């Protein structure tokens, strides 16, 4: 069925009615470390069904932890999954749904993904990835990032209750918001962009540009609801187009320097954008250089600037205001080689401008 999105402060109160409506008896509650501190904790724990709690995973969840969650789901005879947390918690819930119908004696990642009818109710507690509305999930196997994608894992219900953002630490608010902004921009310029994805991208960039001051620096409740909707739009956009070079370049920065994902993506994006402006001859979008130039201009306009160069400057000024600085390296030559070799070629294929490996090293040189 098509996803149902429920928005607004206090919307978590509607979960009880959903549970009753679709006759859920036993649900696996997938939640992260923030759950005990959420204002919605009591609402979730008092739902009219039995809950099997699963919170044994990290912010970069590994395959083995997901397998443990699958066993909890099966042993508890669960008939639904309720995910309450950030993007990692929701990704774990998606993988548990997908893996629960597979052969437990074989590696799940090596099997064909098939539809399962297990309903997922997703309650994001950050305004960032938009994972609550995508068919993608990320886990790690043997230290390597694995992208899991299947249409059946889009949550059936997305409950966007902005009250959960009250207890979010300010640094996490900054990082998750920037992840959403980067997703909106990347999806807009992706070679896979469509009329639908561009509308979602425009909503993302416009809403964050207008509300980030109130959300981050003034901590206004109304702005939190708007930013949460913007993050959801960014997820919908990326679900169509997938991410591009800034995301592809960010993952190794996270593992090497301990930067949260949103922070790592945000410091990559302006340098990638600057490179693309300087190398139109490497255009990889079949719609051509003029199309790409038009897209860059549209993004700049949406960011309330007069040109793409001014948009890049504005983005970098924002990074400075948010105190999202670049990492320092003690072995830069060695690190640059490791970073350039780490970039996933598949994700780079979505980028509208080709970036040769030597140029990739140059971009990283400007970042760290």
pLDDT for residue 147? 86
| CATH 3.40.50.1970 domain locations along the chain | 4-164
pLDDT for residue 6? 95
Helix (H) or strand (E) holding 294: helix 288-302
DSSP assignment letter at 351: S
pLDDT for residue 60? 85
Cα–Cα separations (whole angstroms), residue 235 to 43, 115, 149, 197: 26, 21, 14, 10
Give one DSSP letter per residue of 135-197, joined into a string: SEEEEEETTEEEEEE-GGGS-SEEEE-GGGGGGS-HHHHHHHHHHHHHHHHHHHHSTT--HHH
Mean pLDDT of 275-302: 98
pLDDT for residue 116? 83
pLDDT for residue 174? 97
pLDDT for residue 21? 95
Give one DSSP letter per residue of 58-125, joined into a string: -SS-BHHHHHHHHHHHHHTT--EEEEEESHHHHHHHHHHHHHTTS-TTS-GGGSPP------EEEEES
Mean pLDDT score across all residues of the chain: 95
Partnered with residue 53 across adjacent β-strands are 29
Q: What is the CATH topology of the domain spanning 169-367?
A: Dehydroquinate synthase-like, alpha domain (1.20.1090)
pLDDT for residue 1? 61
pLDDT for residue 255? 87
Is residue 347's pLDDT more than 80?
A: no
| CATH 1.20.1090.10 domain locations along the chain | 169-367
Nearest Cα neighbor of 136 from 99, 180, 95 is 95
User: What confidence tens digit (pLDDT) does each residue in 140-175 have?
Assistant: 998 788 889 999 999 999 999 999 998 899 999 999
User: What confidence tens digit (pLDDT) does each residue in 113-128 have?
Assistant: 888 889 999 999 999 9
Q: Among 59-63, 291-295, 300-304, 314-318, where is mean pLDDT lowest? A: 59-63
Helix (H) or strand (E) holding 318: helix 308-322
Asked if 38 contacts 167 with a C-beta cutoff of 8 angstroms, the reply is yes
Q: What is the CATH topology of the domain spanning 4-164?
A: Rossmann fold (3.40.50)
Mean pLDDT of 329-349: 90
Cα–Cα separations (whole angstroms), residue 101 to 65, 81, 82, 315: 17, 14, 17, 44
Mean pLDDT of 129-150: 90
Helix (H) or strand (E) holding 320: helix 308-322
Mean pLDDT of 90-104: 95
User: What confidence tens digit (pLDDT) does each residue in 13-37 have?
Assistant: 999 999 999 999 999 999 999 999 9
Mean pLDDT of 65-75: 97
């Amino acid at each position: 069925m098509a996803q149902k999105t429920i928005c607004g402060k206090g919307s978590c109160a509607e979960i009880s009615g959903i549970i009753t409506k679709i006759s859920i008896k036993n649900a696996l509650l997938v939640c992260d470390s923030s759950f005990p501190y959420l204002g919605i904790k009591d609402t979730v724990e008092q739902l009219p069904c039995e809950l099997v709690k699963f919170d044994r995973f990290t912010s970069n969840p590994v395959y083995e932890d997901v397998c443990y969650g699958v066993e909890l789901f099966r042993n508890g005879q669960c008939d639904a999954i309720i995910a309450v947390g950030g993007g990692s918690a929701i990704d774990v819930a998606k993988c548990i749904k997908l893996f629960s119908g597979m052969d437990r004696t074989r590696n799940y990642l090596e099997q064909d993904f098939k539809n399962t009818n297990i309903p997922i109710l997703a309650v994001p507690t950050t305004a960032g990835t938009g994972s609550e509305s995508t068919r993608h999930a990320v886990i790690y196997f043997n230290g390597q990032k694995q992208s899991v994608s299947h249409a059946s894992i889009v949550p059936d219900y997305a409950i966007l209750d902005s009250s959960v953002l009250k207890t979010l630490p300010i640094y996490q608010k900054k990082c998750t918001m920037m992840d959403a902004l980067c997703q909106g921009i990347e999806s807009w310029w992706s070679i896979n962009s469509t009329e639908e994805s561009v509308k979602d991208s425009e909503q993302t960039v416009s809403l964050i540009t207008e509300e980030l001051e109130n959300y981050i620096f003034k901590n206004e409740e109304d702005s939190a609801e708007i930013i949460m909707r913007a993050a959801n739009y960014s997820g919908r956009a990326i679900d169509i187009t997938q991410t591009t070079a800034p995301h592809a370049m960010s993952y190794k920065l996270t593992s090497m320097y301990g930067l949260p994902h949103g922070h790592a993506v945000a410091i990559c994006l302006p340098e990638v954008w600057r490179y693309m402006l300087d190398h139109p001859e490497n255009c990889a979008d079949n719609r051509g250089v003029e199309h790409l130039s038009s897209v860059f201009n549209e993004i700049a306009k949406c960011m309330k600037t007069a040109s793409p160069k001014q948009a890049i400057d504005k983005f970098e000024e924002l990074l400075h205001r948010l105190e999202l600085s670049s990492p320092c390296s003690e072995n830069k030559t060695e690190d640059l080689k490791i970073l350039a070799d780490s970039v996933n070629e598949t994700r780079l294929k979505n980028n509208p401008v080709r970036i040769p490996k030597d140029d990739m090293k140059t971009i990283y040189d400007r970042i760290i």
